[in-house]
Amino acid sequence: MNDNNTINSAEILCVGTELLLGDIVNTNAAFLSTRLADLGINVYRHTAVGDNPERLRRALKLAIDENDLVITSGGLGPTYDDLTKETVSDFFGRKMYLHDQSLARIEEYFSRTGRVMTENNKKQAMMPEGAIVFTNNYGTAPALALYDEEKNKTVIMLPGPPNELVPIFNEEVEPYLHSRRESMLISHNVNIFGMGESSVETALKGLMQNAHNPTVAPYCKEGEVRLRVTARASTKEDADRMCEEMIANISATEVGKYIYGVDADTLENAAIKHLKRKGLTLSSAESCTGGLIAKRLTDVAGSSEVFLGGCVTYTNDVKMKLVGVSAETLERYGAVSGETACEMARGVRLALGSDIGVSTTGIAGPGGGTEETPVGTVFVGISTEKGEYVKRLSLSSMKSRSYIRNISANHAFALVLECENNNGKK
Amino acid sequence: MNDNNTINSAEILCVGTELLLGDIVNTNAAFLSTRLADLGINVYRHTAVGDNPERLRRALKLAIDENDLVITSGGLGPTYDDLTKETVSDFFGRKMYLHDQSLARIEEYFSRTGRVMTENNKKQAMMPEGAIVFTNNYGTAPALALYDEEKNKTVIMLPGPPNELVPIFNEEVEPYLHSRRESMLISHNVNIFGMGESSVETALKGLMQNAHNPTVAPYCKEGEVRLRVTARASTKEDADRMCEEMIANISATEVGKYIYGVDADTLENAAIKHLKRKGLTLSSAESCTGGLIAKRLTDVAGSSEVFLGGCVTYTNDVKMKLVGVSAETLERYGAVSGETACEMARGVRLALGSDIGVSTTGIAGPGGGTEETPVGTVFVGISTEKGEYVKRLSLSSMKSRSYIRNISANHAFALVLECENNNGKK
């Protein structure tokens, strides 16, 4: 399995005191992990250390000792505490030199974005001897790879900001790594909504424990369960076929009816695809979710084909003005009621002329709960020309505002997924 | 500095193969880091390893050897690959026993949420001898602390889901740690919008390099710069006063005019506070941001006092129907134009009866760009009774859809922050 120059194992080492202070969340580690898994490279550890030369050196030594590949993020900036490149260079015993193309590119970047180049930015153009320099079209710090052939160790250094790291990886690092992989590890996600993790695992226990290739691993994400099916094979086609067979086995169990997609990524993605397939348009009227449904739908590029728009009706007055909820309904049943949810969904559908209207009204907390309608009470409505339906959610009042809003949006997307163009009810 | 039973240094060790596969982002490490910093405990490393007994054991040994405290997240679940508690217990040479209160609580949790308790959930009630058990009111896995007095090493084990980990930490772990801290480390964030990181650092270079207590550290967050000012002292009052003096020094430099708040957390938070202080109400009309402005405003609990609601006007037709943009404007200037942005802001303000209306229209990409209006072109508008203003953004077409949408929303919030009740223009 271990050819001399093949990369099998990797560690992701993120550098930056802001990570250890909790000022930023480490999305780079997750992104890089996904992409390395696709390349068939096993990631065995994530490490984050601060902008401290000694701790960085120790973390780097440990990572290099145990793995073929180390990818670092951060510490390539212009400031005095950006030390990754210098530390790695020192570790491999390489000298630094001024890389003319990088300097020219940094100067050009500053002139193009109309900003002033300060002296400390020149530090970013210093490179260790023998480095492969990756162009950074998105910022000033060039990325680089150092490969020690004798020890078969590779360190790839990327800038910390995700909006630089992600495109550089896609455009330059992935092609570089592609040529050095050995076997193909392919994963597919089975998306499940409406069944808890323990129940899924109990239903699939035998199947999961006996599965070695492909493997099946469950994990939770706010209100959803996903099963990651991963196969290792010498070609993508073989691995895909092995995954397909396993997914068919899973679908044949009681879990099957809760599966809303494979590699659907998110419920909103699945909803958009469903609407496109059915040729239906959608609009939204949101109270407690406050724009989250529209935001999540429009996160999906191309959503404008099926999502016409929506209203955020945060007050009673706006519920009446924008989506025509009647004063009587608000008076008799209250803003947080199935009746109001129903009129909101109908109202926005008629106002915008869409095939489907969805709505939410509820108490996301932390304040605003009462005995009859505690925090976590949410009504999710859907309206089409043929019929209307409202679902009452009683989420735990202990859950966070963000959780309650997200789960409410999930239920709205799930209702859209059940909606057929020839079927009035839902 | 090192009393026998004081906690000075810590590592956060997160367990779960889903982290190494990139399926979830490690928000727990960021949350725990922030809270430990507030307690005056230095976090020196984050580590994430998979559900693998041998690697977990090695990571744990390294973390315990180098730190007074290790906080783990994950691997306390009911499934066969959840191994954190067993590994830690083994490491400290403690036996496991069935903790009756935990079992009773798990049974009660299942009965309350109306779910079926499966046999494997009992595993969650097994505890190492001598453990301090923390109640989990949000899920089935109890959290726990193991303290070895002789070695002065503490391991705190928390469940992986953030909606369990966060409240357990706040309610049970923080009080436990509070009694064991030594000196107080207090941080305040200075929020800056409209000036780049290099320029900020150049302006503050002398000040930052000479600052040891308090320290001043800059970091970037999509389109913003923050300066973290951190002081160490024996009391909160002393540390706060030291921070205040440093912040006054920073404000006196050219950076001062770009500061929009201290500990403002986010621009939307600052905007909501500003509106409350001024007694103004707000509404939004969004095209390219698609609900993101409303979503971010309503993320803030209590935003309903000043935010009335908004419209997501994703198509031309909806722009005319909901916020009264004229067909002539759309025809002559196009949907992505200053004129349309202006009519949207005015239209939503009048439709909802708010004091201020904000709007966005632009090309968030990746598709839809043209030569005159490339991806990244966004118009942000604001309208009050006294005047109107539109800002044209030319963001790099290389940036992601998510980045362009977020920066556009940031500019909308910045315009709101400049808005006075006695001042028409902006």
Inter-chain touch A302–B116, beta carbons under 8 Å = no
Last residue of a domain, one of B143, B178, B213: B178
Same-domain check for residues B83 and B113? yes
pLDDT, chain B, mean: 90
Mean predicted confidence (pLDDT) in B68-72: 97
Residue of B nearest to A394 (CA): B113
pLDDT at A400: 85
Which residue matches tokens 């190492």? B128
- Region B215-219: mean pLDDT is 84
Give the mean model confidence (pLDDT) for residues B64-80. 91
Please name every residue paired with B45 in a beta bridge, in sequence order, or none if there are none: B11
Instruction: Determine, yes or no, domain membership for A2.
Output: no
Average pLDDT of span B2-9? 67
| Residues B272 and B253 placed together within one structural domain of the fold | no
User: Would you state the structure tokens that stand for residue A88, as one six-digit string?
Assistant: 């790695």
C-alpha dist (Å) from residue B245 to B193, B215, B239, B288, B298: 21, 12, 10, 42, 34
Residue A208 and residue A134 share a domain: no
CA distance B345 to B311: 10
Tell me the shortest Cα–Cα distance from B313 to chain A, in angstroms. 5
Residue of A nearest to B29 (CA): A22
How many folded domains does chain A comprise? 3
Single-letter code of the amino acid located at B242: M
User: Does A278 map to a domain?
Assistant: yes
Task: Please report whether residue A3 resides in a domain.
Answer: no
Split at pLDDT 50, 70, 90, the class of A150 is confident
β pairing state of B42-49 and B9-15: parallel
| Domain identity same for A188 and A95 | no
Mutate to test the interface with A, among B36, B209, B298 (most CBs of A within 10 A): B298
Average pLDDT over residues A92-100: 93
Tell me: pLDDT of B262 over 70.
Answer: yes
Query: Are A136 and A1 contacting, i.e. CB atoms less than 8 angstroms apart?
Result: no
- Supply the pLDDT for residue A3: 44
User: Is pLDDT larger for residue B419 or for residue B305?
Assistant: B305
- How many Å lie between the alpha carbon of A61 and the closest alpha carbon of chain B? 14
Q: CB–CB of B77 and A25 under 8 A?
A: no
By Cβ distance, the residue of A43, A318, A403 closest to B352 is A318
One domain, residues B301 and B389: yes
pLDDT at B421: 52
Give the pLDDT score at B182.
Answer: 63
Helices (H), A212-291: 236-251, 267-278
Judged by DSSP in three states, A374 sits in coil
Q: Write the DSSP symbol of residue A26.
A: B
The domain boundary, picked from A136, A152, A178, lies at A178
Q: Are residues A188 and A118 in the same domain?
A: no
Is B3 within a domain? no
In a domain, B41, yes or no: yes
Q: Do A299 and B351 touch (CB under 8 A)?
A: no
* Smallest CA–CA distance from A195 into chain B, residue: B115
Greater pLDDT, A149 or A315: A315
Higher pLDDT, A35 or A70: A70
Q: What ipTM is given for this predicted complex?
A: 0.71
CB A186 within 8 A of CB A34: no
Query: What is residue B5's predicted lDDT score, i.e. its pLDDT?
Result: 60
Q: What kind and span of H or E run contains A381?
A: strand A377-384
* Residues on chain B touching A110 (C-beta within 8 angstroms): none
Q: In this structure, what CATH number is given to the domain that contains residue B239? A: 3.30.70.2860
Beta-strand pair A184-193/A132-134:
unpaired
Whether the Cβ atoms of residue A267 and residue A198 lie closer than 8 Å to each other: no
The domain that holds B355 is classified in CATH as: 3.90.950.20
Beta-carbon separation of B138 and A399 below 8 A: yes
CA angle (B127 as vertex; B124, B129 as ends), nearest 5:
175
pLDDT in tens, B18-63: 899 898 899 999 999 989 987 878 999 999 999 888 899 999 999 9
Domain boundary among A147, A178, A209: A178
Q: Distance (Å, rounded) from C-alpha A289 to C-alpha A224?
A: 18
Q: Quick one: tokens of B58?
A: 């090695």
Residues A333 and A400 both lie in one domain: yes
Q: How many helices (H) and strands (E) does chain A have?
A: 15, 17
Same domain, A36 and A106: yes
SS3 B324: coil
Angstroms from B144 CA to nearest CA on chain A: 20
Closest residue in A to B51 (Cα) is A44
> What residues contact residue B108 under an 8 Å CB cut-off, 6+ apart?
none
- pLDDT-derived band at B423, boundaries 50, 70, 90: very low
Tokens of B167: 């409240």
How much is the pLDDT for A364? 93
Model confidence band, residue A422 (pLDDT cutoffs 50, 70, 90): very low
Q: Give the sheet arrangement for strand A215-221, strand by strand.
A: A215-221, A224-233, A184-193, A259-262
Element (H, E) at B224: strand B224-233
Please state, for a pLDDT cut of 90, what percent of chain A lies above it.
63
- Which tens digits make up the pLDDT trace of B224-260? 899 989 888 888 889 999 999 999 999 999 999 899 9
Residue B341 confidence class, pLDDT cut points 50, 70, 90: very high
Q: Which amino acid is at B17?
A: T
* Cβ-based contacts of A295 with chain B (< 8 Å): 289-292, 294-295
In a domain, B426, yes or no: no
B273 vs B275: CA distance, rounded Å: 5
Same domain, B277 and B247: no
% residues pLDDT > 90 (chain B): 63
Please judge whether B29 and A49 are an interchain contact, meaning their C-beta atoms are less than 8 angstroms apart: no
Whether residue B361 contacts residue B312, with contact meaning beta carbons closer than 8 Å, is answered with no
| Most distant CA pair in chain A, distance | 80
Residue A315: what residue type?
Answer: T
Burial of B17 (0-12, 13-18, 19+ CB in 10 A): buried
Q: Is A293 in Cβ contact with B218 (below 8 Å)?
A: no
> Residue A183 pLDDT more than 80?
no
pLDDT band at A5 (very low <50, low <70, confident <90, very high): low
Distance from C-alpha of B208 to C-alpha of B304, rounded to nearest angstrom? 40
Q: Return the pLDDT at A26.
A: 96
Residue A209 or B401, more confident: B401
Mutate to test the interface with B, among A9, A14, A21, A197 (most CBs of B within 10 A): A21
Q: Are strands B307-313 and B282-286 parallel, antiparallel or unpaired?
A: parallel
Interface contact A308-B318, CB threshold 8 A: yes
pLDDT for the residue A151? 84
Residue B1: which pLDDT band, with cuts at 50, 70 and 90? very low
List CB contacts (< 8 A) between A23 and chain B: 30, 34, 189, 219, 221, 226, 228
Of B37, B291, B299, the CB nearest to A294: B291
Q: Give me the residue from B55, B116, B398 closest to A167, CB to CB.
A: B398
What totals of helices (H) and strands (E) does chain B contain, helices first? 15, 17
In this predicted structure, the answer to whether residue A421 has a pLDDT above a threshold of 60 is: no
Whole-angstrom Cα distance, residue B380 to residue B248?
A: 32
pLDDT band at B281 (very low <50, low <70, confident <90, very high): very high
Residue A120, domain extent: 9-178
Q: Residues of A with CB below 8 A from B293's CB?
A: 291
Measured CA to CA, the distance from residue A230 to residue A206 in angstroms comes to 17
In a domain, residue A85? The reply is yes
> Rounded distance, CA B241 to CA B237, Å?
6
- What is the distance in angstroms between the Cα of B21 and the nearest Cα belonging to chain A? 5
Minimal CA separation from B382 to chain A, in Å = 18
Decide if B295 and A298 are in contact by the 8 Å CB cutoff: no
Residue B4 lies in a domain: no
Tokens representing residue B416 in the block: 């709101």
Give the C-alpha separation, A107 to A105, whole Å. Answer: 5
At residue A426 the predicted structure's pLDDT band, cuts being 50, 70 and 90, is very low
pLDDT digits (tens, 9 = 90+) for A290-335: 999 999 999 999 999 999 999 999 999 999 999 999 999 999 999 9
pLDDT exceeds 80 at position B127? yes
B contacts of A22 (beta carbons < 8 Å): 29-37, 43
- For the residues A87-103, what does the mean pLDDT come to? 92
- The residue of chain B with its CA nearest to that of A350 is B321
What CATH number has the domain bearing residue A132? 3.40.980.10
Selected for mutation to probe chain A from B314, B354, B406, B413 (highest A CB count within 10 Å) is B314
Chain B, nearest residue to A282 by Cα: B314
- Same domain for A272 and A353? yes
Rounded to a whole number of angstroms, the distance from the CA of B196 to the nearest CA of chain A is 9
- For residue A397, pLDDT over 80 is answered with no
Provide the CA B120 distance to its chain's centre, in angstroms: 34
* pLDDT tens by residue, B168-216: 999 999 888 877 766 677 889 999 998 888 889 899 988 888 888 998 9
Domain co-membership, B255 together with B327 = no
Do residue A165 and residue A195 come from a single domain? no
Cα dist from A74 to A83, A94, A156, A346, B275, whole Å: 9, 20, 11, 50, 37
**Cα torsion angle, B63, B67, B73, B77, sign:** positive
Look at residue B235 and give its three-state secondary structure: coil
By DSSP bridging, strand B153-158 and strand B143-148 are antiparallel
